[in-house]
Structure formats: C-alpha cells, structure tokens
Amino acid sequence: MNARQIFSWSVILCAIGFLPTHLTGQDRVDYAIVIHGGAGSAKIDPEVATARIRSLTTYLELGVEMLKADKQSLQVVEAVIRQLEDDPLFNAGHGAVYNSQGGHELDASIMDGRDLSCGAVAGVTRVKNPISLARHVMTDTRHVLLAADGADQFARQLGLERVKQSYFHTEHARQRWEKVRAAELEKEKEKETVGVSEELPSYLGTVGCVVLDREGSIAAGTSTGGLTNKKYGRVGDSPIISAGTYADNRTCGVSGTGIGEHFIRHAVAYDVSARMMYRKDSLQDAARAVIHETLKPGYGGIIALDRVGNISMEFNTAGMSRAAADSNGRFEVHVGK
C-alpha cells in the first residue's frame, strides 16, 4: 500500500469513526521519551543549572539507549526515575525536601498504558527508590496504593534496598527548609493569613518520565519528596493516579509537577487524556488548556506524549527542568524558562 492509499484509508476510517481525527496526518515515531525534574523558579544558581542540564542529558541518553535496545516503556520509566531519585539535585529520593518535623516522606507512582495497570506508594521513609516499590505494588499485589508503614513493610518483604533517613538529607534541602520554616513562624507571630494564590513556593520539585516504546506502549511515572515543610503525613498528587500520573495507550501519558492539592482537585493528568478521548483535542491543546486555563498561574506543569510520539512540556511557573528525545533525532534539555 502506497502513501496515497494509506492517506485515503485514514480519511475513510476517520469519517466513519474508527480513527481519532486529532492523531491522523502525523508521522508516528518509533519511540519517544520526555523527562521533568520539577517546576518552579527560573532563578537557579548557574552551577546548579549546569549540573542539572548534565544530569538530565545523561538520563535522557540512558532512556534513548534502552529504547533503541527494544526495552519496554515501563522498564525505561523505572530506570530513568531511579537515576533521578539517586541524584541530590532533584526533589526525590536522595535530595528530597524536609517535612515540618525535619524528616522525609516520599511518594511515587507508575502506570502502564496498555491496560491501565498502576501502582503507587505514599509516605515511605526508608525506601531508597520509591518508584521501584510502586512498580511492585502494581505487579505483585491486587492494590494500587500502599502508604506509610505498610508500604515500608512491603519493601522489606520484597528485599528492596532500604536506607536510613539521613541518606535523603542534603544541605541544600535543609537550608531551604529552615528558610521556609522561619518565614512561616514569622507569619504566625504576626497572625497573617497568606493563601497559596498569594505566595507560591519558589521550587516545586518532583521528577517524572513518560515513554512511548517501539511496541506503541506508553508508560508514565512520577516520584517526589513533596513540598518543603509540608505537614507530617501530607500526601500530594504524585502517588495519586489521574492527578500526578496517567497513561493510556489510546491517548497519552502524563506526569505532573506542582502544588499537588490542585492537581488532585482537578485530576490534571487524567484530564489531559479525557480531553483527547472525548473532545478529540490534540495533545498540545489538551495540555495547554489544563495548565493555563484549569490551573492558576504558578501552580505547576506537566510532561506528556501521545501515541504517535508528539511531546508536550507545558508549565505556568517561572521555569521547569525538562528534557525530550525521539527516534527522529529530537534531543533537547532545558532548565528554567
């Protein structure tokens, strides 16, 4: 069948409802990958910015090499996020922010677009790589989400690597926590009430990865230490399927970064997919609408890709660390705006 015949059949199938019109007329790539290292401030120390670019480039290259070797999207998502969790430059795993009690509670989720299988963990305190524990929740239990002590106990049963809380500490995260904590204590003394819309965090952290593999399967994953000085026991959007993570081979995969409470309220990750499924929006239109119309300015961003390999990296914060590549030669890394 030549190109003209393929085009003719596409038009016919669209007309009778068998193909979504928003995906036709586009060249499908063999594979694609997109990564984020958190939304937030564009004012990043030059040395930190250079280091983040170097890290994101390395992890993007890892993902591309795995995809070239025909690895499945789930494998790539887990492998890339594990690297981000091990990197102290990002708010996940080693480098996670501090909660109000001076400790670390980690969240993660992963989803398979083939059948909507998913797994997540919330409030874990000893697991070195929460994204791997989330994948085991998906594959080795009948549940979707395990939290706190139950999740840590499951990790022990699996023999996953566990670490002391001190492993997650970094001086940079500690200094940020002390600054935020001091500011909030001062506000309490002055009996001021400052809403989220009036004063937003300058760094929202979180890491994520979305992948389309050679088989046409999409997977998405997200991992985070949460918000600096968050209340003990707080859970954001990262371990909530449909809020911070979503993947469906029929539409797209999404990973979010931002103020999780608002991603949960608006089911942000799922909303992108739903707009594509029911409104027939393109990936770009859906992503822009959710980030710039549903969410208020400064609330966060997403990375996403659809089933033909289109990539979106949309945010309404001052900046977002992000990287993307595909089989057609695209390879880009950005930090800040």
Residues designated as active site: 206
CB atoms within 10 A of CB 322: 27
Per-residue DSSP letter, 250: T
Residue with tokens 């549903």: 294
What is the spatial distance between Cα 197 and Cα 328, in angstroms, rounded to a whole number?
41
Three-class SS state of 222: strand
Given a contact cutoff of 8 angstroms between Cβ atoms, the answer to whether 133 and 151 are in contact is yes
- What is the identity of the amino acid at 262? H
Burial class (CB within 10 angstroms; exposed 0-12, middle 13-18, buried 19+) of 178: middle
Burial class (CB in 10 A: 0-12, 13-18, 19+), 100: middle
- Beta strands (DSSP E) in 69-144 are 106-112, 117-124
Q: Give the Cα separation of 282 and 294 in Å (integer).
A: 17
Give 290's DSSP letter: I
Maximum pairwise Cα distance, the chain: 74
Question: Distance between CA atoms of 131 and 223, rounded to whole angstroms?
Answer: 6
Cα dist from 335 to 111, 156, 209, 255, whole Å? 26, 36, 16, 17
